[in-house]
Amino acid sequence: MPGNRPPIDERALIVVDMQGDFMPGGALPCVRGNEILDGIQAAMSSGEYGHIVATQDWHPAGHISFASSHGHHQPFEVIELYGEPQTLWPDHCVRATSGAVLDTRLDWSLANIIIRKGSDPRVDSYSAFRDNLGPKGTRPSTGLAGWLDERGVTEVSVCGLAREVCVLWTAEDALKAGFTTRFLWPLTRPVSFDSDAATYQRLEHCGIAIVDTASMDSPDA
């Protein structure tokens, strides 16, 4: 219901992890991630958002989320880390490598801020707002909630990669931080479509608006 939305200067768009390693052919590809490029560019250029945030997964080599850092484990196995499940990933988005570069098909000059996450070698970081649970039993903040709040933002819309991982966690943390949260479903792609039902349920359960307008790319699932 567009009538309920705040003025443009209270709206932020968060574009999550649009990086080479998450694209088809990359180290940790999302399914047809390239198909959302045009829609995301259109959203960034639309003038409908007063603030545009980009995130960039930015790991040191040997990061704790990499299966290769755990000897006998394979990518996509789940281990326990600091008392929480941790999926082990293929090496990806190692800082200053080509796979970590923000996709050059998008105009990043439109972004007001780029949040780099996952830089702590000891803890993963899916969300734009907070690291995953770390060794001290806390989820350290990236500072993004304060950045948005001090700019008067009240509504956050999320898009990007991957739907069931970093976009989902970003949306959940946006809501917890007090922002009205919109999940631009057609402008996301998952690592696996098998996760879609669970992702949809989690969003519905916590009260995040799932936006699936006809003006966007056609839904894929």
Contact positions vs Zn ion (CB under 5 A) = 57, 118
Minimum distance from residue 59 beta carbon to Zn ion (Å): 6
Q: Which is nearer to Zn ion, 118 or 190 (CB)?
A: 118
Closest approach, Cβ 174 to Zn ion, in A, equals: 19
Which of residues 159 and 162 has its CB atom nearest to Zn ion in the complex? Answer: 162
Catalytic residue ranges: 17, 117, 166
Residue 103 or 155: which CB sits closer to Zn ion? Answer: 103
What lies within 8 Å, CB to CB, of 210 at 6+ separation is 183, 185, 200, 203, 204
In whole angstroms, the minimum distance from the beta carbon of 133 to Zn ion comes to 15
Distance of CA 215 to the CA centre of its chain: 22
Least separation in angstroms between CB 194 and Zn ion: 20
Closer to Zn ion by Cβ: residue 39 or 75: 75
| C-alpha pair distances (Å), 184 with each of 40, 106, 188, 209 | 10, 17, 7, 9
CA distance between the termini of the chain: 23
- What is the crossing angle of helices 168-176 and 196-206, to 10°? 10
Please give the Cα distance from 69 to 177 (Å, whole number): 32
Closest chain position to Zn ion (CB): 57
